[in-house]
Structure 1
Amino acid sequence: MTAATPGQPIGSSSKTSPQRPRAVRSVVPARLDRLPWARFHWLIVVGLGVSWILDGLEIQIVSQAGFKDSLGLTNADVGALGSVYLVGQVVGALFFGRITDRIGRRKIFMLTLAIYLVGSGLAGLSWNFWVLAAFRFVAGVGIGGEYSAINSAIDELIPSHYRGRVDIAINGTYWGGAAIGAAANLYLLSDAVPKSVGWRIGFFIGPLLGLLIIGLRRHIPESPRWQMTHGHAEEAERTLDDIEERVRNDGHELPEVDDKKAIKIVPQKWIPFGQLFGIFFSTYPRRTILGISLMATQAFLYNAIFFSYALVLEHFFKVSSAHTSYYFLPFAFGNLLGPLLLGPLFDTIGRRVMITGTYTLSGVLLAISAYLFQAGSLNATTQTILWCIIFFFASAGASSAYLTVSEIFPLELRGQAIAVFFSIAQICGAIATSLYGHLIGGANNANPPRGPLTVGYYLGAGVMIFGGIVAFFLAINAERRSLEDIADPLTKASDELEEVA
């Protein structure tokens, strides 16, 4: 790659510039990756990881539609609100993904959390469908922006030895939020709380958690990696000095920096939008296929099962709608435990083996459960147990999809890469939600047919197994490797370039 003159967009020709490109030699990645685990890293986990908890909480609070009767909404209106939130997430991810790569991680993860707080909080004050839809869209924009900025910051701040388990665990905490939402709904939507009040309180839970976290985020620095590649070398050094001082204050001794791991960078400010497609489909086509496959297949499976979960319990197992949360809680905990317990294996056994294994095993188990479902061998309890086992593995696999797309592309477009693949996943998820809704749609008689939904379960199983096969052939062995070793920064200078004195 020909290095551009500082200040030029990456990919533009340096021949038109009268200045010779000058490189900056940096050990920023090496300094970050050799750090031992310290309280600073727990600050990153708690301060940034709350985003997924908030998203899971939002989805669960809204999925039970406690506001339906209070606002006089139809089933179609409730479905439309879910779509509005989804569209908001896609818009937020694409917009803020582009911006975070240009102006930094910290500014965006502070802004997007504020947007979410406003959107979700005001949703609790809604008085009709259109007002609620507008605030749901705003909340979705905030959460979508969080996905881009937060995943970027986490990967760039966490040492390479821990990156896999941390990223997977944080993505898995979505289900912790869903469990909180389900538990809250058991009380808020019961007769103990007025129907016109309970759902409004539910919308305030997320903003209250967010207000507690926004103070923590003030102590999280900008990514030194981002500063290094965007012409802020001195700021990157100061940021790293502060991080290292925090680690030393915890009683840790820091190992010497391996000078051989230094890289040369020609700092740039931005990447032309059109160059993204060349990087995805020309420079890294195999990685692009991998990212699309993993994100699309896990989203298809999750939306297929998650959004039809209550309907299956009600129509096929005769569980009352008021009691579905009791079955959802163990399902949520199974999804949470998978990433927490299996996450470390992605850093030890490795990405390829674990991604292939979790995708394939969850697909095979779903196919077995589909057979038992069709045979009428399951009741509500045994069906829930099977789903817990299936999604113990599927949740770790799904979280690894987010990890994959956030670490296999160059640093300068990390936020945009996450946004693009996240948007693809959301579209596939929306297709699955609609499809499985239709498969259950005819289940209104006393003995609803199981055949259509069984076929849908086999389809979901096949989709996950396909994702596992793609991972077997295309997954990147990124475990314990520096981000700069996995994908060269676009700003990486050629060896012959003169360094800045």
Structure 2
Amino acid sequence: MMSGVEEAPKAVAVLNSSETTNSSSSEDVATLVVATAPATQRPAGKIDVLIQGVALFSDGYNIQIIGYMNTVLAKLYPKQMTAEVKTRLSNSILIGDVFGMLFFGLCIDRFGRRVGIILTTLFLVFGIILATVSHGTTVEGMFWMMVIGRGVAGVGAGGEYTVCTSQALECADSTPEMRKRRGMLVAVSTNAAIISGFVASSIVSLIVIAAYGGEPSDGIWRICFGIGIVVSKYSKSSSSRPPPFTDPDTQLPLSIFLFRMRLSDSEQYQKHAIQRKVPYRLAIKFYWKALLGCCSAWFLYDFVVYPFNLLAPTVVTGFSKNQSMTESIGWSALINFFALPGSFIGALLMDRIGRRQTYALGWSIVCVFGFVIGGAMVPLQHVFPLFVVFYALFQTFLSVGPGDCNFLVSSESFPTPLRGHFLGFAAAVGKAGAAIGTTALSKALASFDDKVKGQQVIFLIGSAISVVGTLCAPAHLEDEDVRFRNYLEENGYDTSDMGLQAPKVAS
């Protein structure tokens, strides 16, 4: 249903393309036709790109929800909920992300996008269930079960980053019309979807807390974690019958698993896949500079954005000793919401002014607001609404530039047969940056008895990182599949086996 599958006429285009000229016999050509032309499927369209965002929406919800639940847990267990435990809970899903990105990056290139999609959903659901039912003979034991559960969910969520971004890019490259808007389509289905999940987590938190009368309860965090399994519904189309497994009463991400059982691999993957004798040495020699640039860019972005998202409730609480739990989460939710319009602004800019220019623009404005907030933190203590506005704009432009561009550039810069490898590695380095940044900035904030000084320091650190980020904007590359194939042929690699191989038809 989704992602890059084509009708029989597509096979004709494949046969006529330059990629298939490497077939040395009519038998090889017949094999390629069989492999790439399922006659009952339709070509990829815009909906196939955007639907990738459904899974990433769920991932965003499950990553961000702990930032709000830390506030609830701190009130329930003030002695046990130390800064170390809070950081451990925040980082567990990020560490799981790293493993998921690396493992599933390899998996989807070797065995196909569809295999990765199914497995990531299983990991995500199982991990959320473990975290939701966390128990222990001690509070510390309960926290450890929660950490393990969210780590398992992180493996699935990290895999989704690699799978969905690859699928979104490959579907967006299916037609000349979509290719012109590839930046916008991929940004909306990746970064905007994840941020929407962040926003949904804040709304759900506020509703559940209100249902408990604003008082802390174990029921709050269990419900909010559990809603990660059933966080949203598909909307029913009035113009056509919904596809199988997408009935409006089916929930996410369980429904994602059932829906994705019908997926086929993208057209690009079917044409260019390398499932054996992977030329790792040649690939690293050819792409190490692009990989270094993407890793650096993603590390710096996640080092800043994740701590400032997760620490938002803690930061705004520091402005008043009398803030209720609802007020603290409400203000931080408002701040994080402003990243959402930023993701759409960046999506519109990338295809117009270019990826690199959008990236640098976003980081530059983040530098300005970060230094303003850090430098003026003392007077801002007396004008809380102005602090919220500045903090919100700080989040907006993080999303405009590196937030949107990292997904797109890190997937465009590498060829289809190894996209999962390189994209997964770059994203994993980013999540390592998120874990390191969350740990470093949390300790910096907690090391000051004067909360104002602590807040000032973390904004100045974030701004300094933003300056470096402006200098590390990765380049945008085009036509990687053709370039990579030509490079392999020039270096003596046999490209005739590239693409999915179907059983040969007897003459």
TM-score by length of 2: 0.75
Deviation at residue 268 of structure 1 after TM alignment: 5.2
Matched with 1:400 is 405
CA contact (8 A) 1:405 1:421 kept: yes
Deviation at residue 308 of structure 1 after TM alignment: 2.2
C-alpha distance in structure 2 between counterparts of 1:432 and 1:70, whole Å: 25
Matches within 5 A, 1:454-465: 454-465=456-467
C-alpha distance in structure 2 between counterparts of 1:462 and 1:489, whole Å: 40
C-alpha distance in structure 2 between counterparts of 1:367 and 1:404, whole Å: 27
C-alpha distance in structure 1 between counterparts of 2:407 and 2:415, whole Å: 15
Deviation at residue 22 of structure 1 after TM alignment: 4.4
Gaps (5+ residues) in structure 1?
A: 1-19, 231-266
Q: Choose which of 223, 231, 238 in structure 1 pairs with 2:266.
A: 223
What SS is found at the alignment partner of 1:206?
Answer: coil
Distance 1:162 1:405, change over 3 A: same
Which amino acid in structure 1 is aligned with residue 430 of structure 2? A
Matched with 1:372 is 376
Deviation at residue 456 of structure 1 after TM alignment: 3.1
Distance 1:71 1:419, change over 3 A: farther
C-alpha distance in structure 2 between counterparts of 1:39 and 1:407, whole Å: 18
What SS is found at the alignment partner of 2:410?
Answer: helix
Tell me, yes or no, if structure 1 residue 197 matches structure 2 residue 199.
no
Tell me, yes or no, if structure 1 residue 437 matches structure 2 residue 442.
yes
C-alpha distance in structure 2 between counterparts of 1:194 and 1:456, whole Å: 28
Which amino acid in structure 1 is aligned with residue 475 of structure 2? A
Matched with 2:151 is 137
Matched with 1:337 is 341
Distance 1:453 1:67, change over 3 A: closer
Deviation at residue 70 of structure 1 after TM alignment: 7.7
Distance 1:302 1:132, change over 3 A: same
Tell me, yes or no, if structure 1 residue 74 matches structure 2 residue 93.
no
Which amino acid in structure 2 is aligned with residue 364 of structure 1? V
Deviation at residue 21 of structure 1 after TM alignment: 8.5
CA contact (8 A) 2:339 2:392 kept: yes
C-alpha distance in structure 2 between counterparts of 1:104 and 1:378, whole Å: 56
What SS is found at the alignment partner of 1:74?
Answer: coil
C-alpha distance in structure 2 between counterparts of 1:449 and 1:182, whole Å: 24
Q: Deviations over 1:277-312 (max 9, x none)?
A: x634x3234313321221011111113322321222
Matched with 2:242 is none
CA contact (8 A) 2:444 2:458 kept: yes
Which amino acid in structure 1 is aligned with residue 207 of structure 2? Y
What SS is found at the alignment partner of 1:174?
Answer: helix
What SS is found at the alignment partner of 2:264?
Answer: coil
Which amino acid in structure 2 is aligned with residue 303 of structure 1? Y
Deviation at residue 490 of structure 1 after TM alignment: 7.6
Matched with 2:276 is 269
Matched with 1:182 is 202
C-alpha distance in structure 2 between counterparts of 1:140 and 1:90, whole Å: 8
C-alpha distance in structure 1 between counterparts of 2:307 and 2:271, whole Å: 42
What SS is found at the alignment partner of 2:253?
Answer: helix
Which amino acid in structure 1 is aligned with residue 316 of structure 2? L
Matched with 1:211 is 254
Deviation at residue 492 of structure 1 after TM alignment: 5.6
Q: Deviations over 1:344-386 (max 9, x none)?
A: 2211221121111112222222212222224446633211211
Q: Choose which of 484, 488, 491 in structure 1 pairs with 2:484.
A: 488
Tell me, yes or no, if structure 1 residue 166 matches structure 2 residue 175.
no
What SS is found at the alignment partner of 1:132?
Answer: helix
Which amino acid in structure 2 is aligned with residue 286 of structure 1? K
CA contact (8 A) 2:96 2:152 kept: yes
C-alpha distance in structure 1 between counterparts of 2:382 and 2:304, whole Å: 20
Deviation at residue 139 of structure 1 after TM alignment: 0.6
Q: Deviations over 1:6-29 (max 9, x none)?
A: xxxxxxxxxxxxxx994978999x
Matched with 1:296 is 299
Q: Deviations over 1:236-266 (max 9, x none)?
A: xxxxxxxxxxxxxxxxxxxxxxxxxxxxxxx
CA contact (8 A) 2:335 2:392 kept: yes
Matched with 2:124 is 116
Q: Deviations over 1:169-190 (max 9, x none)?
A: 2222222111111111113234
CA contact (8 A) 1:303 1:429 kept: yes
CA contact (8 A) 1:229 1:268 kept: no
Matched with 1:14 is none
CA contact (8 A) 2:90 2:310 kept: no
Matches within 5 A, 1:3-82: 22=24, 40-46=45-51, 48-63=52-67, 64-65=69-70, 66=72, 69=76, 73-75=80-82, 76-82=84-90
TM-score by length of 1: 0.76
C-alpha distance in structure 2 between counterparts of 1:268 and 1:97, whole Å: 13
CA contact (8 A) 1:189 1:199 kept: no
The one of the two structures with greater contact order (alpha-carbon pairs below 8 A, sep at least 6) is 1
Deviation at residue 322 of structure 1 after TM alignment: 3.1
CA contact (8 A) 1:304 1:460 kept: no
How many residue pairs get aligned? The number is 426
Tell me, yes or no, if structure 1 residue 103 matches structure 2 residue 111.
yes
Deviates more, 1:412-421 or 1:491-500: 491-500
Deviation at residue 56 of structure 1 after TM alignment: 2.1
Matched with 1:287 is 290
Matched with 1:3 is none
Q: Choose which of 63, 76, 92 in structure 2 pairs with 1:84.
A: 92
Q: Deviations over 1:168-223 (max 9, x none)?
A: 22222222111111111113234348823222221221212212333443444311
Distance 1:105 1:466, change over 3 A: same
Tell me, yes or no, if structure 1 residue 316 matches structure 2 residue 359.
no
C-alpha distance in structure 2 between counterparts of 1:91 and 1:490, whole Å: 32
What is the RMSD computed on CA atoms of the aligned residues? 3.4
Q: Choose which of 360, 380, 388 in structure 2 pairs with 1:384.
A: 388
Matched with 2:7 is none
C-alpha distance in structure 2 between counterparts of 1:331 and 1:283, whole Å: 42
CA contact (8 A) 2:316 2:332 kept: no
Deviation at residue 113 of structure 1 after TM alignment: 1.2
Matched with 2:359 is 355
Matched with 1:126 is 134
C-alpha distance in structure 1 between counterparts of 2:110 and 2:378, whole Å: 52
C-alpha distance in structure 2 between counterparts of 1:317 and 1:431, whole Å: 28
Which amino acid in structure 1 is aligned with residue 484 of structure 2? D
What SS is found at the alignment partner of 1:475?
Answer: coil
CA contact (8 A) 2:319 2:381 kept: no
Gaps (5+ residues) in structure 2?
A: 1-21, 137-141, 174-178, 231-251, 498-503
C-alpha distance in structure 1 between counterparts of 2:448 and 2:86, whole Å: 19
CA contact (8 A) 2:373 2:456 kept: no
C-alpha distance in structure 1 between counterparts of 2:277 and 2:286, whole Å: 18
Matched with 1:306 is 309
C-alpha distance in structure 1 between counterparts of 2:301 and 2:264, whole Å: 32
C-alpha distance in structure 2 between counterparts of 1:49 and 1:327, whole Å: 26
